[in-house]
Structure 1
Amino acid sequence: MEDLIKIYLKDLLSFDGETGVFTWKGGKKFYPKSGKQAGIITTSGYRKIRVMQVFYYAHRLAWLMHYGNFPLGQVDHINGIRDDNRIRNLRDVDACTNQQNQRKAQANNRVGMLGVSMCGDKFKAQISTRGKHTTIGVFDSAAEAHAAYLDVKRVVHGGCTI
């Protein structure tokens, strides 16, 4: 199936690894005009392209076009921009490493800062590595807690690009 997708992609689309953009080659009935950027942006910010009636993430197709095979793990956008599919911005990582590259706090985080939560009237910095939670410390301000979290994160999360 992977080979069939590659043939289809090369026949209908051009991929520029420097810009990370897929464009339609055109000339085929029912396909967009030549030069038009392929795909749609999802609500989560990723670009998807329809290939043989199935939607694929553009970053996975970029990996396939450049390296000749789908990635073994997840494709991580190093700079955190979900539609930046330049080859130098993509890396094949496991799910744990990809999760460690989170750039913003989850929606349910009341403080709104990655790695920081309320602890009474103070702020606790905490980090998770492979399912193990470690408290870094308790601080007077959210900014201090967040700075401590980032310092530790850069050491213990090897794949961290923050």
Structure 2
Amino acid sequence: MRLKEHQLAEYFSYANGQLLWSGGFNKGKEAGSPRPDGYRIVNKFKVQYYVHRVIWCLHHGELLDGMQIDHINGNRLDNRIVNLRAVTAAENNKNLALSDANRIGVLGIQFNTKHGNFTARIRANRTLITLGTFGTLLDAVAARKSAELSFGFHPNHGRQPRAA
């Protein structure tokens, strides 16, 4: 069951990045609770909704099928409307944080211990593209950042992971 825009306004309001209950004994209190994955959810009619999606719909109407809501700064609890944007899955993947497992500190760069050089790669349009092999990390990073720019990656792509 999907909540429609007019139903959302009946049960919820928005203020300062928070989803608030509009009525009942919880009126004015923040709606929902945080999940272990960092998102905030709210229950209504025995269905769980992501708070950021409810906030988006309150402001912009129903979200089109296949669209996702991206937290621009990567903070899943920052549900200010200026931090939310509707994107496709492919666009959302162009605004990822650096993995905790990344040892180099930059997405798409690998160190080749046998040859002592760095390889830069990027995945764009479902294709893995090797950008080249470089003698220095700085050169490999420059190639990767240039490719991110040309393929329309978000400036926040590759940011440091959020603190747990």
TM tier relative to shorter chain: 0.7 to 0.9
Q: Secondary structure at the match of 1:128?
A: strand
For 1:43, which of 33, 36, 41 is the aligned residue?
36
Pair 1:128 & 2:123 matched: yes
Pair 1:23 & 2:20 matched: yes
Gap regions ≥5 residues in structure 2? 157-164
Kept after mapping to 2: 8 A contact 1:125/1:149: yes
Q: Distance in 2 between matches of 1:136 and 1:115?
A: 10
Q: Distance in 2 between matches of 1:150 and 1:122?
A: 18
Kept after mapping to 2: 8 A contact 1:64/1:71: no
Q: Secondary structure at the match of 2:31?
A: coil
Q: Secondary structure at the match of 1:100?
A: coil
Kept after mapping to 1: 8 A contact 2:11/2:21: yes
Task: Tell me the number of residue pairs that the alignment of Structure 1 and Structure 2 aligns.
Answer: 153
Q: CA deviation at 1:127?
A: 0.6
Kept after mapping to 1: 8 A contact 2:34/2:40: yes
Gap regions ≥5 residues in structure 1? none
Q: Distance in 1 between matches of 2:44 and 2:153?
A: 31
Deviations 1:135-154 (A, max 9, x none): 22223444542343122202
